Structure 1
């Protein structure tokens, strides 16, 4: 029977989910809910979220954990994490530049997905479509106001990021013209159809374009005048404390930036040794830089066209398909595939991202960057696609969305809100390629180690840029010595860490390490009785959780063996 603690917890989860549906259109679309507003990114919206977060934390303190089941305690742990993060929304609103590529890419997703999904069948649909169109202009106005407010607080835009910010805004403005194009209006009467067409044109020319023009004028004028030479959070008033909070928020367990930096140095050194072993295996007796030149000159590792990139990914996925069942008891039902990024997003993104299935498009896709292929090595393609699709992101994101037993706050929001779990699982999944026998080719193994070292380097570079005051040049030099990535790729990566998503990239290796620590702990405890499928079910069965809760679950499983 459901006790009072469970009932109270469920009500809090319901209220938190209602807040998500009202403020994050992606989740509303997945649940086939009407989207009434696109996020503006305003300070007022951040304050409302902070109020919601404080309320959740207050109400959770009144819930007695002794009256909860093990699964309920998972929900409690997640709500505590979300409540804490949301309660800090007003403070963290100042920590990010709204026009950075990754910070603003949701605008393109919301603009295209929401506006194109409006069913135009009755007059109220016209009104909603016009209101959503006006929200795009509101986003641009709020972005300008936020940048100006940040400058007043001493948070000037880094000079090195300005050109990218301008290009991103121009791309969004151009994209808006496509998003606002009316869909199928055949079910509307002539009057409503004309009202929609005329209204959209009026909003686009009278509100959207002027708002984006004003934002661009600010970026090329006042923002340029207040721009700063350095990068990273520690250069700003209160920036170091902000970064410390972001590190723990993304990790979802207690760790300091200093600990992260030292861990990164250790991990990179270990992977240096593993790479050297593969070079010796293939009979190369030179150093790493010399071997990189050999690989860079090898046409096998460079795709001449996007279609070749896709073919490479599909070949590796075909190798995984017959063996993945040996490691997992439950597989997702949704199909998966690869598709190139929209052109407007390719310039500002280093690689791409996984796009989960939706009711409108029930297939999980890796949206890859198909630009600049002459400078993009494909040697790590096997590890990358295992990370992004199978058994990586697609496995946990699609599967958890399909688990109707999970509260939606856990089954839908948590996997996308908990970066260390999500990206840590992706990295752990890519490392399973060794266990599954996918990396039989020594070059695939070499690429997998290069991929691992690349994310391990992030522990060093992200903390270097945001805590220790590294310059972009120093960060780029560190990456260039130990990577196959092009200078352009390294440039977008370092900007991502320093001016777009400080701390976010740490979750990849921190999550990988935590999962392997827990697996080794279980292997030691169970001995010969250890079954990796049971361990994976412990990790995936409960859905994405803060790692404090994941660790508690594994420890209880071990204790109760």
Structure 2
């Protein structure tokens, strides 16, 4: 998941839509979705439904994109209002809803409604917490920021005059949007709430990539390709208006932002990398640990678990090294993997084709392991060039339409840093049976209320992604020992995250110490190690989701296998994990306990 989501909503996946993270599909009945969220099979209690509806309206009011996709025509052509007044109003509304929710008599609710209430409370509490800790001062991370994600407005479908008029409205609103975001960056600078200076090296390149001649701007592209039925006069008028807006609104906004970042913000960003060094930083980080693990864990407990997992995985890695007859120590083997040309492609197309081949093999494994598969297909595309240099190796980008695919993004920047031995694990995680499968099935659960259909719980989603990498081992992937080492290095990567994230943010580790730990325990390229460490620094706690979620799913599977014996069915187990969408780990445990009881009762 990505941090730039509208509060609590899975509006745009790791991705292209607005925030670089999981996306939505259009609901079956958009007009109804504006006034009330979807109903579950057994009706939600009136008291809880009223709270859900109130919360949903708050979310829609905060996101014109979401509201418009749900059928609210009045939201067309608007961008999110990030003014102090708007954010204060949203926060006050969320506190009011949270108060009602906490006062609700849960003992009178059905089991399903208790789950709804708990997940909604977790979502709203997180939004309230982030406002309290002034997270809105940080609309950028080491990877990218609002300036890159907002460019996705140019990637919408343009089929009608209305589509172009809505887009023109957004281009007109863009200077205000940039000014509001810059206002919060200035507030953060004044109060010492900024990304650390070390993580912003090269950040200006992600801005200058948009400062180009009008005709080369991605914002102008919609005005170069019109539907065939548009008249010559319509095309001429739209092109003229589009060129003027890109020239007078878009490019100056990026230039002004570039000047501010390079002259004022980046030189004066904070030096200390730890979240605990921020105002109320220790409490903030422990809050992030609980949120991203969905468990009542402390940073110390997470750190110790990470060290234990690193030790276990390291032993498996040593066994693989011995199996290939490599002469040298662990560090020598890592150097070999990072530098030998046999492990790297020489063209972007070659890397994409290899990823596509693995993805197609992964598609074929699905019927053996899942009873229910999603309707939506997925494609493979490169990470957008504007953000690729500081971006991670790959991501899943879902679609917000039911007539479009999701996409598995592969980073084709710096090909000598994108090893093939990692590609099987990456593909299984981001495509299937990982994020695409899980997120697409989630969006098809029309019986769930919308805040759950379009929500994303990181421990569940990222835990499932990492579990999917492991599942490939059972499905016959990783036959090449180097690819299996790639799988282990990916698992080690996630285990090391538990160590370095808590180390940097709670235990005084330096950036260099974290880089050294990651580099000496994984086969990730040094470029990837550095970009990953900077990601953890500017997104505290999120990296803990993966291993905590995966270990929970593995533990629950082992429990089911032990208790069910011959009655255990892997397809039924996976369907049971995914059947209620994205849920906290404590609720998943209850869910699987119910599955075990049901299976035991069968003849």
TM over 0.5: yes
Q: Which region of structure 1 is more displaced relative to structure 2, 230-239 or 505-514?
A: 230-239
Change (3 A) 1:503 1:3: closer
- Kept in 2: contact 1:182–1:196 (CA 8 A): no
**C-alpha separation in 2, matches of 1:115 and 1:304:** 29
Matched, 1:280 2:322: yes
Helix, strand or coil: the match of 2:270? Answer: coil
Q: CA deviation at 1:302?
A: 0.6
**2:182 alignment partner in structure 1:** 144
- Kept in 2: contact 1:102–1:349 (CA 8 A): yes
Helix, strand or coil: the match of 1:354? Answer: strand
**2:128 alignment partner in structure 1:** 87
Q: CA deviation at 1:349?
A: 0.5
Matched, 1:216 2:258: yes
2:110 to 60, 65, 69: 69
**1:250 alignment partner in structure 2:** 292
Q: CA deviation at 1:70?
A: 3.1
**2:578 alignment partner in structure 1:** 540
**1:429 alignment partner in structure 2:** 468
Matched, 1:169 2:211: no
**1:419 alignment partner in structure 2:** 458
Matched, 1:366 2:405: no
Helix, strand or coil: the match of 1:117? Answer: coil
**2:9 alignment partner in structure 1:** none
**C-alpha separation in 1, matches of 2:261 and 2:477:** 47
**C-alpha separation in 2, matches of 1:542 and 1:253:** 19
**C-alpha separation in 2, matches of 1:505 and 1:525:** 32
Q: Deviations over 1:259-303 (max 9, x none)?
A: 111111111111000111122223335321222233334433111
2:562 to 482, 503, 524: 524
Change (3 A) 1:349 1:28: farther
Matched, 1:377 2:387: no
Q: CA deviation at 1:17?
A: 3.1
- Kept in 2: contact 1:43–1:90 (CA 8 A): no
1:445 to 481, 484, 491: 484
Change (3 A) 1:339 1:3: closer
Q: Deviations over 1:224-275 (max 9, x none)?
A: 4523333131222222221111121121221111111111111111100011
**C-alpha separation in 2, matches of 1:133 and 1:58:** 38
**C-alpha separation in 2, matches of 1:318 and 1:328:** 16
Q: CA deviation at 1:77?
A: 2.1
- Kept in 1: contact 2:62–2:90 (CA 8 A): no
Q: CA deviation at 1:451?
A: 0.8
Helix, strand or coil: the match of 2:514? Answer: helix
Unpaired runs of at least 5, structure 2: 1-39
Change (3 A) 1:157 1:423: closer
Change (3 A) 1:96 1:130: same
Helix, strand or coil: the match of 1:522? Answer: helix
**C-alpha separation in 1, matches of 2:337 and 2:567:** 42
**C-alpha separation in 2, matches of 1:367 and 1:175:** 27
Q: CA deviation at 1:53?
A: 2.2
1:314 to 356, 360, 364: 356
Change (3 A) 1:52 1:531: farther
**1:20 alignment partner in structure 2:** 59
Change (3 A) 1:299 1:32: farther
Matched, 1:111 2:151: yes
Q: Which region of structure 1 is more displaced relative to structure 2, 381-390 or 49-58?
A: 49-58
**C-alpha separation in 2, matches of 1:255 and 1:285:** 41
**C-alpha separation in 1, matches of 2:310 and 2:536:** 18
**C-alpha separation in 2, matches of 1:178 and 1:244:** 40
**C-alpha separation in 1, matches of 2:416 and 2:145:** 27
Change (3 A) 1:89 1:502: closer
Q: CA deviation at 1:30?
A: 5.6
**C-alpha separation in 1, matches of 2:143 and 2:401:** 25
The 5 A counterparts of 1:490-529 are: 490-499=529-538, 501-529=539-567
Q: CA deviation at 1:182?
A: 4.8
Change (3 A) 1:515 1:68: same
Unpaired runs of at least 5, structure 1: none
Q: CA deviation at 1:533?
A: 1.9
**C-alpha separation in 2, matches of 1:299 and 1:431:** 27
Q: Deviations over 1:177-222 (max 9, x none)?
A: 4225554388778887666555544444444333333322222223
Change (3 A) 1:445 1:121: same
Helix, strand or coil: the match of 1:451? Answer: helix
Change (3 A) 1:64 1:198: same
Matched, 1:489 2:511: no
**1:264 alignment partner in structure 2:** 306
**C-alpha separation in 1, matches of 2:164 and 2:43:** 45
The 5 A counterparts of 1:91-240 are: 91-94=132-135, 97-100=138-141, 102=143, 104=145, 108-113=148-153, 116-117=156-157, 120-121=160-161, 128-172=166-210, 177-183=217-223, 184=226, 196-240=238-282
**1:461 alignment partner in structure 2:** 500
Q: Which region of structure 1 is more displaced relative to structure 2, 228-237 or 382-391?
A: 228-237
- Kept in 2: contact 1:462–1:502 (CA 8 A): yes
**C-alpha separation in 2, matches of 1:4 and 1:539:** 23
- Kept in 1: contact 2:396–2:430 (CA 8 A): yes
Q: CA deviation at 1:454?
A: 0.9
**1:336 alignment partner in structure 2:** 378
Q: CA deviation at 1:43?
A: 3.9
Query: How many pairs does the alignment contain?
Result: 554
Change (3 A) 1:353 1:46: farther
Q: CA deviation at 1:457?
A: 0.8
Q: Which region of structure 1 is more displaced relative to structure 2, 272-281 or 36-45?
A: 36-45
**C-alpha separation in 2, matches of 1:403 and 1:339:** 27
2:510 to 467, 471, 492: 471
